[in-house]
Amino acid sequence: MKIKVVFENHPHHPRCIPMWGFSCYIPRYRILFDTGSNGAVLLRNMEVLDIPPEEIETIVLSHFHWDHTGGLLDLLQTHGDKEVIIHSAFSITFASEAENLGARILIEDHPREILPGAMTTGSLKGPMWEQGLLVRGDEGWALLTGCAHPGISSMVTTATKLTGEPLYLVMGGFHLLNLTPQEVAKVARELLDLGVTSIGPCHCTGDQAIETFSGIYEKGCISVGVGLEVEV
Ligand SMILES: [Zn+2]
Ligand SMILES: [Zn+2]
């Protein structure tokens, strides 16, 4: 199973535009997770990565921050016929704007199976409520996070209970900008203890925190940038 990083603030693919935000596409399940901060950049990167907008069936939004929701309306403008899964911490105005463009909005706070092998974690309490996406590949389960505002360890704990087995990959923003390297190292060891095989800390994780993760996870730490394709 491939996971394509469509929107991210670190460069990787020479023809993709890096910009603050996060979004991934999983062709096997036709699910787009988050939409980055800008519609034009999202659509351009999708084109470079050979993702036809009409192929997307479901869009899962992690949380109501502009750098994760910013590309949605532009995408719906030309391809409105999508199922969009949000939760109750999103604005009603935003949801109705999407609905007016033809989207079917699902407001769901509980874990929800989208297809066998693909489900949301349900919304978890943080400074900002957030849901993660779980997708099963040949190597095992991958958890995608937006900013991990509820705490990355707590999101992984919840996700592991849902899958009933340790996660193979955890990728996305881990939001650890304000932590000391010692505190970040503690989080990395928690993920190791939870049995997570590989990690892709990116977006709002913080570059220093990413270095600390990479020191602890070594080869299990993927360097993520826009246009990267991860095989699970
Ligand atoms: Zn956020
Ligand atoms: Zn973010």
**Pair 102, 76: CB distance under 8 Å:** yes
Report CA(82)–ligand 2 centroid distance (Å): 23
Low-confidence residues of the chain: pLDDT under 50: none
Ligand closest in space to the Cα of 20: 2
What residues does each domain of the chain span?
2-231
- CA-CA distance, 210 to 203, in Å (whole number)? 10
Instruction: Kindly report the CATH class assigned to 2-231.
Output: alpha beta
Report the SS3 class of residue 124: strand
Report CA(42)–ligand 2 centroid distance (Å): 15
Considering the entire predicted model, what is its pTM? 0.98
User: In angstroms, what CA-CA distances link 24 with 21, 36, 49, 180?
Assistant: 11, 9, 11, 28
Ligand closest in space to the Cα of 64: 1
In this prediction, residue 216 carries a pLDDT of 97
pLDDT in tens, 182-217: 999 999 999 999 999 999 999 999 999 999 999 999
Q: How many beta carbons lie within 10 A of that of residue 138, not counting itself?
A: 9
Report CA(175)–ligand 1 centroid distance (Å): 8
In this prediction, residue 172 carries a pLDDT of 98
